[in-house]
Amino acid sequence: MPERSNAKTKNRPDASRQRVSIVVLLLVLWMIAIGVRLVHLQVGQHEQLSDRARRQQQQSAKSNALRGLILDRNGHELARSLDVDSFVAEPTDEKFDARETAKKFAAVLGLDESPLRARLEEARKSKRKFVWLARQVDAEQARRIHELKLAGVRAVKEPKRYYPNGALAAHVLGYVGTDDEGLAGIELYQNASLGGEAGKTVFDKDARHKAFNSFEVEAQPGQSIVLTIDQNIQYQAERAVAEAMEQTRAKSATALVLEPRTGEILALVNAPTFDPNGARKISEELRKNQALQNIYEPGSTFKIVAYSAAIEEKLARPTDMIDCQMGSINLLGRTIRDTHAYGTLTVTEALAKSSNVAAIKLGLRVGKERMYDYMRRFGFGERTGIELKGETRGIVRKPENWHPSSMGSVAIGQEVGVTPIQMAAAFATIANDGVRVAPHLVREVRDANGQAVQRTAPETHRVLSAETARTLRPMLESVTVSGTAKLAQLDGYTAAGKTGTAQKIDPATRAYSKTKYVASFAGFAPIENPAVVIIVVLDEPAGSYYGGTVAAPVFRAIAESVLPYLGVAPDTEFKTPAGGQDELALEMNATQANRDAASATAHHAQYSSQEPAAQAMLPQVVERGAGGVREVVYAAATERALLMPDVRGRSVREAARICAQLGLELEAHGDGRAIGQSPAAGARVEAGQTVSVEFGRSD
């Protein structure tokens, strides 16, 4: 029996070994779990835990990169960034006093103390480590804050955008927000290039949240943008537009100066304007860039499409005769009239006189499908691609959406919507021998070392043959010589262009307003080798609203300052009166007075020759000269009538210029030099009267 019992005992498993095995297994599993967890923490969650530790032990303040420069085409600074002090509070600092900090800060910066104190006290309760007190403080205020030596308050260097020329080219440059992010203009469009890479300052904290060490990750400065804008041309254009705004009391105004062969914009002006240094005070209305966002019916400036298409398609020639039907045409029961009744004119004369009937007839010859094609070729209905946000396409309907009588509107610039920059690009196409170059503002992008890393290569395509473009240029010159834009004639330079006077839609009636107009003039100079294209658009001018009387003089003012500045040689013999600048100013004043008088007559304004003030406004013209040189001199008139000057021996351009200055309509016959005139020299004439001059060439 005992032997059997021992045998059973040997075969029974040892309980202690089982327990050991279980314990070992559990230990192994526990170690594996710990290992897996460690791997998970150290590998899988390494970044998250490291960031958490850094947040507990460190505090960082982001520092914006020094924003790149914005330069004009000649390297002049239009925008730069300056390092200024911003101030932060550290509410967890033991010595920080929210009440004292709020009181003293508010006193220096002129802030309301109560909300600042409440914000700081709330930050302390929630144990926030970082609170902005003031951003981008000016130098004097920063000095006074430093002198306070407030506990828990530190200064952080931040770049602040500065525009040294104030409002100059404001709609081109745009502005930045408090965080140095571009919010408008080139600042917004090129924000990624200008902004660079932000840096930061890191503070190590102990258990009591006191900083004991810090290090800085340097920001990488932004790239610089070189614009096509010339600050001198921009200034001259802005000055001319500001004067026009004052004289016409227009709601707004736009002007563009463009190089036709490169597409580079030398000036872009919108009025009213703003100072980007005070960006926080800028209203939405002032921020609007009218040059690329204002859609308006162009009126007669759009007639270049019908004339271009007709000449390109061999449907008309400049010397062809066209019946203007005494100023009236009927399309499917709709009657469209000219301002004046004209009979048969040459195509060139019809353009100079801005005949609606002639433009419609040419449009009918072209047909709506080809007319639409040429509109799109010129770029209407498409964005130009200029480097600014918010550009609109304009309004150009497809032919299938035209009404049966739409050609009567489209050919004369109605039922279409354009922007000033689109119209400038269209005239630049004619000035550039039929090749359209996309208008642009950015010339190149430079790195921090000043090396060009990107240059603009604008899109180009042919719209018209060179022959057609060169045919159109003298036709458009006739508009300034004997047509509706005599006030666009330049001193020493030939000029070409087209006026536009378009009625605005009345929102209340959805019909054309009888009191609100858009006056415009688009042109280029000189004729043979155009150096600049200039467009001027005035929205709702008060009083006279014709493009030839309010927009054309602005073109002249800009062109006469820009062309000599660009070194363009004069190409005409006409000279400014020898009296110099004073007499030139008197001449311009007389021109304005006569223009006002002509406008008043056209609008049936009441006028009395007995009113002394009115008499003083009207000039009298006499001829004087020595050594065979004659000049026009102005003196106060004693009655409503003017005296007809002697224009014999003058060229067509010179005679037209003199008549325009007096508000007279010139009817020129022949070419060469003036050999006869009616009325005779010294006869009394009135502003707005048509005078006839015969021209001929001596054998």
pLDDT (tens digit per residue) in 129-148: 677 777 777 777 788 878 77
* 491-504 pLDDT per residue, tens: 999 999 999 999 99
Statement: residue 514 has pLDDT above 60:
yes
Q: How confident is the model at residue 6 (pLDDT cuts 50, 70, 90)?
A: low
Rounded to an integer, what distance in angstroms lies between the CA atom of residue 303 and that of residue 547?
Answer: 14
Nearest to 370 by CA among 306, 454, 455, 291: 306
Q: Which residue has the tokens 């279980």?
A: 22
Burial state string for 97-112 with b = 16 or more CB within 10 A and e = fewer than 16: bbeebbebbbebbeee
Query: Which position among 300, 544, 599, 651 bears the catalytic label?
Result: 300
pLDDT band at residue 4 using 50, 70 and 90 as cut-offs: low
pLDDT for res 194: 93
pLDDT in tens, 397-455: 999 999 999 999 999 999 999 999 999 999 999 999 999 999 999 999 999 888 999 99
Mean residue pLDDT across the chain: 82
CA atoms within 13 A on the CB side of 270: 23
Domains and CATH numbers, the chain: 60-227 (3.90.1310.10), 231-572 (3.40.710.10), 592-699 (3.30.10.20)
Number of alpha carbons in the 13 Å side-chain half-sphere of residue 494: 18
pLDDT average, residue stretch 279-297:
88
Q: Is the pLDDT of residue 626 over 90?
A: no
Phi and psi, residue 14, nearest 5°: -80, 115
Q: Is residue 332 scored above 80 in pLDDT?
A: yes
- Say what the pLDDT of residue 631 is: 38
For residue 8, what are its two tokens? 């059973």
Report residue 207's pLDDT band, with 50, 70 and 90 as the boundaries. Answer: low
Residue type for 466, please?
A
- Cβ atoms < 10 Å from Cβ of 166: 13
CA-CA distance, 231 to 77, in Å (whole number)? 9
pLDDT in tens, 527-578: 999 999 999 999 999 988 999 999 999 999 999 999 999 999 998 865 443 3
335: pLDDT strictly greater than 70: yes
Active site residue 409: no
- Per-residue confidence band for 33, with pLDDT thresholds at 50, 70 and 90: confident
Q: Say what the pLDDT of residue 600 is.
A: 33
460 versus 204: the higher-pLDDT residue is: 460
Taking the C-alpha atoms of residue 338 and residue 358, their distance in angstroms, rounded to an integer, is: 9
Percent of the chain with pLDDT over 90: 50
Find the largest Cα–Cα distance for the chain. 165
Enter the tokens of residue 264: 């580079």
Distance from C-alpha of 227 to C-alpha of 224, rounded to nearest angstrom: 10
The model's pTM is 0.73
